[in-house]
């Protein structure tokens, strides 16, 4: 019974002596959330269908700080750190060291914000959302949901044009009047500059969330921005 309890308490995956000579696939994710005011950096090194712990003297560093490892039987090993959002904007460097080899990855993390805040009440019309911190061609996922059980809402990925994303009056036909939640997620993915022969990717996401009341109007509004100008 004691042996069984000990085995159940140990949630760390087995770590074999040989790890494919360190020929990992690098899986890096950076997720920022304005609402929670934080950024999560999660790094995993994958091979043979699972992720691995890097044995000493190997290490993983973010901006010169050694990252601690965590693990579970389901997800294997990963390296993770949380940073305050307002301190993380700008350039960062990940350094992976193993078997006498070093791989460096430099990336820029920029914040995204609305140029004009959404008012408490928005009338049905073409809605134009203008952003800071986005570039032409960036992909932004848009989710607009209401409190109804039978409406489809909006869930799509738009390409930023002239710093804007437009939700048309006709798109709003899928949304009920009343309280709604809108979320914007800027999603980017790129190959790593330095990695093993298996390669790697860096995926970055930044999210905004707002709430407002959607209403019909008997007066006609010009196709305008969400501040109803």
CA 114 – CA 223 distance, rounded (Å) = 18
Q: What is the mean pLDDT of the chain?
A: 85
Top-confidence residue, 169 or 225: 169
25-109: CATH topology: Immunoglobulin-like (2.60.40)
Residues of the chain with CATH 2.60.40.10: 25-109
The whole-angstrom distance between residue 86's C-alpha and the CA centroid of its chain comes to: 16
Residues 6+ apart with CB under 8 A from 5: none
The per-residue pLDDT for 224 is 43
The per-residue pLDDT for 21 is 61
pLDDT in tens, 188-208: 999 999 999 999 999 999 999
In the predicted structure, residue 4 carries a pLDDT above the cut 50: no
Can you give the length of the chain in residues?
229
Looking up tokens 């032409």, which residue turns up? 136
For the chain, the maximum distance between any two Cα atoms, rounded to a whole number of angstroms, is: 75
**Tokens of residue 7, six digits:** 């085995």
pLDDT in tens, 96-114: 999 889 999 999 999 999 9
Task: Write the DSSP symbol of residue 216.
Answer: -
CA 174 – CA 128 distance, rounded (Å) = 17
The per-residue pLDDT for 220 is 46
Say if domain 113-186+207-225 classifies as CATH 1.10.3470: no
Please, which pLDDT band fits residue 22 given cuts at 50, 70 and 90?
low
In the predicted structure, residue 7 carries a pLDDT above the cut 50: no
């Amino acid at each position: 019974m004691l042996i069984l309890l000990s085995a159940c308490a140990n949630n760390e995956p087995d770590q074999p002596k040989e790890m494919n000579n360190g020929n990992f696939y690098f899986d890096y994710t950076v997720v920022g959330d304005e609402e929670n005011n934080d950024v999560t950096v999660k790094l995993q090194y994958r091979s043979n269908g699972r992720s691995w712990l890097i044995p000493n003297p190997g290490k993983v560093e973010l901006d010169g700080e050694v990252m601690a490892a965590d693990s579970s039987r389901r997800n294997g090993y990963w390296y993770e750190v949380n940073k305050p959002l307002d301190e993380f904007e700008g350039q960062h460097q990940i350094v992976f060291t193993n078997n006498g080899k070093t791989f460096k990855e430099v990336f820029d993390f920029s914040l995204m914000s609305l140029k004009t805040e959404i008012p408490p009440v928005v009338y049905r019309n073409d809605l134009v959302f203008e952003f800071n911190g986005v570039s032409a061609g960036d992909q932004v996922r848009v989710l607009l949901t209401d409190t109804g059980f039978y409406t489809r809402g909006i869930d799509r990925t738009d390409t930023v044009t002239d710093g804007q994303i437009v939700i048309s009056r006709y798109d709003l036909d899928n949304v009920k009047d009343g309280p709604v939640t809108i979320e914007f997620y800027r999603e980017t993915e790129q190959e790593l500059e330095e990695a093993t022969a298996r390669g790697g990717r860096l995926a970055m996401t930044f999210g905004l969330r707002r709430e407002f009341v959607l209403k019909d109007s008997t007066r006609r509004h010009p196709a305008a921005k969400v501040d109803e100008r």
